[in-house]
Amino acid sequence: MNLVETQVNTPFVATKEAIKLAGGPTATAKYFGVSRSAIHQWVERGCPANRVLALSRLVDGRILPEEIRPDVFILD
């Protein structure tokens, strides 16, 4: 079930949930080769568009790219 189906569909909630599913900020930061601080900025400001597909793949598509950045990826 993705976030759209659960009605929790704001980009910031989707990003936070994806990070949680990926093992938390530390694990996500390690995967992307960035600092934990950078990951926390994703939650506050939004995930960078060039990281969205990889973040979605990291959580096996449980959070869709269009949920993380609906301004970049079209929600069908």
10-residue mean pLDDT series, the chain (76 residues): 55 94 98 98 95 98 94 81
Q: Which pLDDT score, from 0 to 100, does residue 4 have?
A: 46
Asked whether 63 and 6 are in contact (CB, 8 A), the reply is no
Domain ranges across the chain:
11-68
User: Residues 52, 54, 15, CA angle at the centre, nearest 5°?
Assistant: 45
Asked whether 69 and 45 are in contact (CB, 8 A), the reply is no
As assigned by CATH, the class of the 11-68 domain is mainly alpha
pTM of the model: 0.85
Q: Which two tokens stand for residue 48?
A: 């960078």
